Every structure is written in structure tokens, then in C-alpha cells.
């Protein structure tokens, strides 16, 4: 079984998330950059996700809101830096619950034999920020998201 690998070396300000998907990288890139696909997999299963803005271009902004069963809302936003491509998509990432704590994400998609290795490098402004993100329970969100993305990619290829 394929599993998501999350690496957070002690004392560094980074998190590396890696997972291989059984799909060509152009399709994976579409799932990351087309809002109507993204909304189908990003976030934990028990939260509803709504995309407010998703402007995939150099300097373009994105924002989405996750809502839990009790109606609590969690907002996230960021800005794309450079033109997003399958080789590299760089963006900032902010959880609106802790304003002023900005992370930089670098997403790379690498294809081999029709499968795609997705790697996300998140760089924080301090080890404390990084540790705070790990402690927030992000792992559940990441694993849920990746399972849902694998299911979506399978559906899209079977269509």
C-alpha cells in the first residue's frame, strides 16, 4: 500500500511531504490547479471546503475556507510566486487562525513509468512555526487529502 511520508527533521524549519500516485503528472497537476478538482480532495474528509479565490498565475491569490460539522470556519490563503508548472509551483501559505505566520511551499511533480511522485517542501519562518504546524494535527489533513486525491485520480482515469 502506498503511504504518505511526512518528514520534519528536529531543529529545522521545514516539513517535507512525499507520496506517489498512480497517475500521469499532467493529471496530478490539473488536480492541484483546477478549483473544480481541488475542491474534491483537499482537506480532511469531515470538513466541507469552499474555494473563494484561486488565481493560478504569477502573483495570483488563492483563498479557501474549511467548515467543520459544528459550523466552525477555518480560512487559508496565499499567493503564487512564479508561474505554476508541473516542475515547480511555489506559493505562500497562511492559516488565518494565526495571522502573520507565513510559510513558503514548493510543490514538485516527477513522473516515472506513468506514476507521479508528489513532493511538497514547506519552509517556515521559525522552528517554532514549523512545530506549531505539526502540532496542529496537519498530519490527519494531509493523509486524508492524499487518500481522496488517489481516489479522484482513479475516477478521472476510469472516466
Q: Which residues in this chain contact its own copies in the complex, by CB under 8 A?
A: 12-14, 59, 61, 79, 81-82, 88, 90, 92, 94, 99-100, 102-104, 106, 121, 123-126
Q: How far apart are CA 84 and CA 89, in angstroms?
A: 4
If the CB atoms of residues 77 and 115 are measured against its own copies, the closer one turns out to be 77
If the CB atoms of residues 37 and 102 are measured against its own copies, the closer one turns out to be 102
Scanning the chain, the segments in alpha helix (DSSP H) are 25-33, 35-38, 127-135, 138-158
Q: How far is the CB of 154 from its own copies (least distance, A)?
A: 31
If the CB atoms of residues 27 and 121 are measured against its own copies, the closer one turns out to be 121
Angle in degrees, CA 44, 80, 5, rounded to 5: 40
Q: How far is the CB of 88 from its own copies (least distance, A)?
A: 6
Where are the extended beta strands (E) located within 31-143?
Answer: 48-54, 61-67, 73-81, 89-95, 102-112, 115-123
If the CB atoms of residues 52 and 151 are measured against its own copies, the closer one turns out to be 52
Amino acid at each position: 500500500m502506498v503511504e504518505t511520508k511526512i518528514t520534519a527533521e528536529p531543529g529545522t524549519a521545514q516539513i517535507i511531504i512525499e507520496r506517489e500516485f498512480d497517475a500521469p503528472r499532467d493529471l496530478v497537476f490539473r488536480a492541484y490547479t483546477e478549483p473544480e478538482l481541488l475542491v474534491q480532495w483537499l482537506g480532511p474528509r469531515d470538513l466541507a471546503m469552499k474555494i473563494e479565490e484561486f488565481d493560478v498565475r504569477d502573483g495570483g491569490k488563492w483563498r479557501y475556507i474549511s467548515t467543520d460539522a459544528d459550523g466552525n470556519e477555518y480560512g487559508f490563503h496565499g499567493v503564487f510566486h512564479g508561474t505554476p508548472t508541473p516542475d515547480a509551483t511555489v506559493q505562500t501559505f497562511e492559516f488565518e487562525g494565526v495571522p502573520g505566520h507565513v510559510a513558503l511551499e514548493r510543490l514538485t511533480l516527477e513522473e516515472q513509468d506513468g506514476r507521479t511522485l508528489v513532493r511538497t517542501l514547506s519552509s517556515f519562518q521559525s522552528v517554532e512555526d514549523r512545530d506549531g504546524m505539526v502540532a496542529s494535527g496537519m498530519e490527519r489533513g494531509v493523509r486524508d487529502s492524499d487518500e481522496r486525491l488517489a481516489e479522484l485520480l482513479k475516477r478521472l482515469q476510469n472516466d
